[in-house]
Amino acid sequence: MSRSQSSQALEAAERLCQERGERLTPIRKRVLELVLGWDGPVKAYDLLEALNPEAGTAKPPTVYRALDFLMGLGLVHKVEALNAFVGCTHSHDEGGAELFICSDCGTVEERHGSATPTNAPEGFKIDRSVIEHFGHCRNCTH
Amino acid sequence: MSRSQSSQALEAAERLCQERGERLTPIRKRVLELVLGWDGPVKAYDLLEALNPEAGTAKPPTVYRALDFLMGLGLVHKVEALNAFVGCTHSHDEGGAELFICSDCGTVEERHGSATPTNAPEGFKIDRSVIEHFGHCRNCTH
DNA sequence: TCGCCAGTGTTACTAAATAACGTATCGGAA
DNA sequence: TTCCGATACGTTATTTAGTAACACTGGCGA
């Protein structure tokens, strides 16, 4: 993610927290910065490592709590198939993201598709959808 | 999954292995039986536990190897968001499944939707898609 | 009969995530 | 001001998930 996108997302996060009466504490902000600045999806334990030279004593719950918080605000998405996390620059109120993940360069594109699939079982009420496409992005198919 | 579905799936597995020159060994068959007979998605370590009274000394690689084999044949799918596995009674040659998972009763419905989403980034070539919908099935919304 | 190879056994380890509980800080009510 | 409750964070320990690496075996073809 580019620097400008990243800082925009940070500002958006500040605003979002203000609106909702949530606190973007230093740890949370730092984790968000790291996720946004990371090249591709990032593992929780890599975040932990990145966090530690500065924070010193961060342990798994620290980073998982921050990630949970950020996911709650929709600022970070989890890539379930990778056990990894990606930053999100979209302003999406509701609804899940549809992720396109390049297996070569690791970049993740996010789209917001139609919430309801055409072929759901009758009467099935969807709460949350996980949609992750793995393949090769435009740059990597050349 | 009902008993008849389960035994049909087992027969289909036998046939499929025959066709492909693969061997449905006792362990693989037993794991498939367990997955098919399980009530909802099953965790690898639960399979391991279920396996052990009989096999005695099964260890993680045993069950993961069997699951990998069965997934390769499309007889089992992994639910990425749950780190769990479900049996598959469909005969689908290619293409990923779309799963509808009831958070109440745990049942999983499998559909095979349109392979290509309408809103993929330009030039993105999809290899594999993970599509998992969580919610409430018809029976559990009443 | 030899040697390969797929399948399995086994040990050990890495990675991912959470439970449970203690501590600090801050803002509002008494 | 003091106390209280809530929220966030620190810390220890444990559980859950998955894999690497190597040894062994039994069948099958040369």
Domain chopping of chain B, boundaries: 3-87, 98-140
Asked if the domains at B3-87 and B98-140 fall in one CATH topology, the answer is no
Residue A105: other Cβ atoms inside 10 A: 13
Average confidence (pLDDT) over A28-55 = 93
- B10-69: per-residue pLDDT in tens? 998 999 999 999 999 999 999 999 999 999 999 999 999 999 887 678 999 999 999 999
The residue behind tokens 């070539």 is: B125
> In whole angstroms, what is the distance from residue B134 CA to residue A96 CA?
11
Average confidence (pLDDT) over A73-100 = 87
B78 contact to strand C (CB, 7 A limit): no
What is chain A's percent helix, strand, coil content, to nearest 5?
45, 20, 35
Does domain A3-87 fall under CATH 1.10.10.10? My reply is: yes
Confirm or reject contact between A138 and chain B (CB < 8 A). yes
pLDDT grade for A58, boundaries at 50, 70 and 90: very high
Q: Which residues of B touch A108 (CB under 8 A)?
A: none
- What's the mean pLDDT when you consider all of chain A? 90
- What's the mean pLDDT when you consider all of chain B? 90
Nearest 5°: phi and psi at B129?
A: -120, 140
**CATH topology (fold) of B98-140:** Dna Ligase; domain 1 (3.30.1490)
Q: Which residues of A touch B126 (CB under 8 A)?
A: 100, 133-135
DSSP for B83-122? TEEEE-----SSS--EEEEETTT--EEEE---SS-TTPPT
A56 pLDDT exceeds 90?
no
For the structural domain made of A98-141, what CATH number should be given? Answer: 3.30.1490
A135: helix, strand or coil: strand
Q: Do B132 and A129 touch (CB under 8 A)?
A: yes
Per-residue DSSP letter, A120? P
A90 pLDDT exceeds 80?
no
Q: Which residues of A touch B124 (CB under 8 A)?
A: 100, 102, 109, 133, 135-138
Q: Do A124 and B109 touch (CB under 8 A)?
A: yes
pLDDT grade for B115, boundaries at 50, 70 and 90: low
